[in-house]
């Protein structure tokens, strides 16, 4: 992953994708996992938890262990979710030698750009899931749902800093397993100075059947449902 945002620019994450952007998505996720045990009695491991914005809405329900490849993103995550356990690690290779009631992989799974990467990430989820537990994976797209397009957003901070972005998704080669997300970032410092940054993200794109085969190979019985935003949500049980 060559994306600059998660490394040198991680301090800007709260103005790019803050917790308030995840209220509806978290509610949808909790509905899918119902019926749930009493709050605080079940454990959840999140692989690729980023800045912790989604996790901030789950910590009342689960005892969380949050992992990410980027130390900068984990620093943002700790600020939002100080109650949780935070561990640096790659979702393809992480081995904690522990099992959890739930294992969550949100959109960080999009950085699995080869079939080997995808299978390794799902295998990591399976290894850490207790028998009878649940793995839930939420990619931005599968091949059947991908459409090119643009998006924009950003927030302002109380200290005068500001952040705006243009996101441009496109697929130069529909025959391979990746697509491109180009970002144009405008970053305003507290003193009013503004700079522009281009950041390119290469993300994985696989047919739905390939996802389901990867779950099966990892010993997970999975199904896929579309959420209200038209995205595949893979829910799997550990056999």
> Residue 116's beta-bridge partner residues?
none
SS3 content of the chain, % helix, strand, coil (to 5): 25, 35, 40
Query: What is the pLDDT, as a whole number, of residue 2?
Result: 56
Tokens of 235: 């829910």
Q: Provide the residue-wise pLDDT of the chain in tens; the chain has 239 residues.
A: 457 899 889 999 999 999 999 999 999 999 999 999 999 999 999 999 999 999 999 999 999 999 999 999 999 999 999 999 999 999 999 999 999 999 999 999 999 999 999 999 999 999 999 999 999 999 999 999 999 999 999 999 999 999 999 999 999 999 999 999 999 999 999 999 999 999 999 999 999 999 999 999 999 999 999 999 999 999 999 98
Helix (H) or strand (E) holding 215: helix 208-217
In order of start, what are the domains of the chain with their CATH numbers? Answer: 10-142+206-238 (3.40.50.150), 149-204 (2.20.25.110)
Per-residue buried b or exposed e for 184-210, using 16+ beta carbons within 10 Å of the residue's own CB: ebebbeeeeeeeeeebebebbbbeeee
Helix (H) or strand (E) holding 79: helix 71-80
**For 6, phi and psi rounded to 5 degrees?**
-80, -5
Query: What is the pLDDT, as a whole number, of residue 239?
Result: 82
Is 121:105 a contact under the CB 8 Å cutoff? yes
Instruction: Tell me the C-alpha to C-alpha distance, in Å, between residue 30 and each of 58, 93, 171.
Output: 8, 27, 32
Helix (H, G, I), strand (E, B) or coil at 150: strand
Per-residue buried b or exposed e for 100-139, using 16+ beta carbons within 10 Å of the residue's own CB: bbbbbbbbbbbbbbeeebbbbbbbbbbbbbeeebbbbbbb
Query: What is the pLDDT, as a whole number, of residue 213?
Result: 98
Other residues' Cβ atoms within 10 Å of the Cβ of residue 37: 11
Spatial distance between the Cα atoms of 156 and 178, rounded to a whole number of angstroms:
32
């Amino acid at each position: 992953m060559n994306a600059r945002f998660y490394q040198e620019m991680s301090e800007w994450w709260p103005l790019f994708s803050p917790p308030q952007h995840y209220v509806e998505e978290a509610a949808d996720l909790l509905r899918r996992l119902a019926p749930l045990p009493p709050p605080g009695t079940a454990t959840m491991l999140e692989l690729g938890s980023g800045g912790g914005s989604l996790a901030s809405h789950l910590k009342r329900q689960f005892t969380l262990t949050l992992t990410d490849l980027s130390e900068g993103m984990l620093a943002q995550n700790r600020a939002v979710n100080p109650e949780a356990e935070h561990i640096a690690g790659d979702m393809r290779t992480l081995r904690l030698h522990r099992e959890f009631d739930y294992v969550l992989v949100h959109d960080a799974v999009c950085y699995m750009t080869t079939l080997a990467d995808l299978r390794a990430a799902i295998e990591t989820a399976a290894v850490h899931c207790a028998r009878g537990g649940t793995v839930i994976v939420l990619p931005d797209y599968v091949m059947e749902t991908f459409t090119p397009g643009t998006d924009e957003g950003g927030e302002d901070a109380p200290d005068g800093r500001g952040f705006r972005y243009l996101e441009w998704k496109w697929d130069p080669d529909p025959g391979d397993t990746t697509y491109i997300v180009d970002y144009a970032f405008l970053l305003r410092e507290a003193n009013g100075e503004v700079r522009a940054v281009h950041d390119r993200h290469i993300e994985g794109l696989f047919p739905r059947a390939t996802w389901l085969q990867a779950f099966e190979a990892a010993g997970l019985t999975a199904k896929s449902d579309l959420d209200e935003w038209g995205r595949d949500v893979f829910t799997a049980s550990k056999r």
